[in-house]
Structure 1
Amino acid sequence: MAKMIFEELGGTYIQQGDYFLPCLSLPAEKETKPIGVWGQRHLRYLKQHRKVLYTNLLTSGKLNSYLVDIDEQAEDTFLRLVKQIAEREGLTEQLKAENSMLWVQTMNSIRNRAMDIVNEEIIYN
């Protein structure tokens, strides 16, 4: 019997009942760092809206490293934006000591705006 293309490339088959199925496995990733909240959000976005990109990353073994990079980039951007906006709006430690409720309210507003920017620019793009 002539060899199939899969066998010529070094692949093997396993018999399941009456069928021969190819033995397929995903390539192992080098690093397995944990994926943070930003990476999880991007993963959910990829699964729902960018299925081809998700499948390509998954089958090439690069999904985890891609998500770790996205997570780090988003976290760095978020922290930088919060710091820049707080400085621009004059949010100081003195205000925190004098009127803590106003400081918390302003900081929550800043964090929400920074989160919206990161979501729009990095996570859902």
Structure 2
Amino acid sequence: MMKKHIYDESNGLSYTLHGDYYLPDLAVNEGEPTYGKYGMLRKQFLKEHRPARYQYLFMTGELTVHLNRVDQEAREQVETLVKQIEEKQGVTEQLKMQDLMKWVGLINNIKAYAEEIVLKESVYM
């Protein structure tokens, strides 16, 4: 009779018998932090340009919370700026219906401009 569970000291893995085969006991790491685009950009910035701050946030367990907050705030700021600039420049639904390509070009420029401002003022500081 084969054992149901075995441990291989050479590779540090546990195995469970399934039929005639031992399969490794592998689990997905659910604790892997997730944050959006701006959070990832902030993390990279901290690592490269503010290593002491990065280490402090990492060691105190506050890094993921910080990155999620920066990400959320940056997304909200971009959204707000885009709306403000659209209004200022008269980019409307009417323009969208009249000249879609012009509208798309304007919207893309506005989004890029708003994101550039937010990156400089919130993420890369």
- Same fold (TM > 0.5): yes
TM-score relative to the length of structure 2: 0.73
- 1:103 corresponds in structure 2 to 103
The equivalent residue for 1:93 is: 93
Equivalent residue for 1:56? Answer: 56
Alpha-carbon distance in 1 for matches of 2:112, 2:70: 19
Could you say which residue in structure 1 is the equivalent of 2:6? none
Q: Find the counterpart in structure 1 of residue 73 from structure 2.
A: 73
TM-score where L is the length of structure 1: 0.73
SS of equivalent residue, structure 1 residue 35:
coil
Following superposition, the deviation at residue 32 of structure 1 comes to: 7.5
The 5 A counterparts of 1:1-125 are 34-125=34-125
> Of Structure 1 and Structure 2, which has the larger fraction of its residues in strand?
2
User: Where in structure 2 are there 5+ consecutive unaligned residues?
Assistant: 1-30
Count of paired positions: 95
Runs of 4+ in 1 over 3 A off after TM superposition: none
Taking every aligned residue pair, what percent have the same amino acid on both sides?
A: 37
Superposed CA RMSD: 1.4
Rounded to whole Å, the distance in 2 between the matches of 1:111 and 1:76 is 12
Deviation of the 1:34 alpha carbon: 2.6
Shift of 1:33: 6.3
1:43-102 CA deviation, whole Å, 9 max, x = no partner? 000010100000000000000001000001100000000010001100010100110010
